[in-house]
Amino acid sequence: MQDLTRSRQWQVMTAEEQARIKRQMAEGHLGTEDIGKLAARAAVKAVLSHLTWKADDNYSTWADEVKTHFSGPVLIAKDLKEF
């Protein structure tokens, strides 16, 4: 949402459009607990992608949260990164 605010798109959206985006952000993504449990059941490595924007670009705390439910590798996807 901060990208939308910086680009001034948020300010020109209707209240309905803003509510739809907020709902999608809250309900349309898996949480770190869900990711960890799913990865543990699937016995795979977890790759966190399509991440919500963070000013410091540091997602290590999210990886740590996944690791509380999953003992395998947890990677953070970045543009142009290959796995």
pTM, entire model: 0.68
DSSP 11-28: HHS-HHHHHHHHHHHHHS
Instruction: Give the model's pLDDT for residue 24.
Output: 84
Strand partners, 75: 47
Q: Which of 19, 36, 79, 16 is nearest to 1 (CA)?
A: 19
Contact 41, 61 (CB under 8 A): no
Q: Which residue has the tokens 């607990």?
A: 33
**Could you report the per-residue pLDDT of 27-75, keeping only the tens digit for each?**
878 889 999 999 999 999 999 988 877 778 899 999 999 999 999 999 9
